[in-house]
Amino acid sequence: MLFAALVLATGVPPTPCADKGTALYVDATQRTLWLCEAGNAVDAMPVALGQGGLDKRVAGDAKVPLGEYPLGSPRPSTAYHLFIPVGYPTPSQRHRGFSGGAIGVHGPPRAYGGPISTQIDWTLGCIAVGTDDEIGRVAGWLEATKARRIIIAE
């Protein structure tokens, strides 16, 4: 587990969640998904992002959106084990001309799987964890905390 390794290496839990409340937080620069509970980091895992980069604006650009978004309920996925919908674009973004959809947090592709899937950015705009166990932990944590938002930042 990345979180445990970071704590062991430094002796101090990392603090990327200090001002995030209870939410999923994606540090896109570090390619890390944090589970933030009441401003404390409770877990972290590496992720793959969109092959088009960051700051999604239009459908089909394969970019990951930046900002804060509502999360839908986790649902089974034949392609990725579990899929957690991200509410992109927001009504304000849609009004400004942003387009697209079907963005989410999900598990590894059924064709590959395993941690190798987080070594490169391969998604079409989603956030992908490396294992079924990791997406299961995220989904279970969302259910337990009732967290319903994600923050994606550089």
Residue 95 confidence (pLDDT) above 60: yes
Comparison of pLDDT for 97 and 15, the residue scoring more:
97
Residue 97 confidence (pLDDT) above 60: yes
Residue 125 confidence (pLDDT) above 70: yes
Walk me through the domains of the chain, giving residue ranges and CATH numbers.
2-153 (2.40.440.10)
pLDDT band at 14, cuts 50/70/90?
low
Which pLDDT score is estimated for 111?
76
Residue 117 confidence (pLDDT) above 90: no
Which pLDDT score is estimated for 90?
97
Q: Three-class SS of residue 55?
A: coil
Mean pLDDT, rounded, for 88-105: 96
Residue 8 confidence (pLDDT) above 80: no
**Cβ distance 95 to 107 under 8 Å?**
no
Residue 54 confidence (pLDDT) above 90: yes
pLDDT band at 7, cuts 50/70/90?
low
Residue 122 confidence (pLDDT) above 70: yes
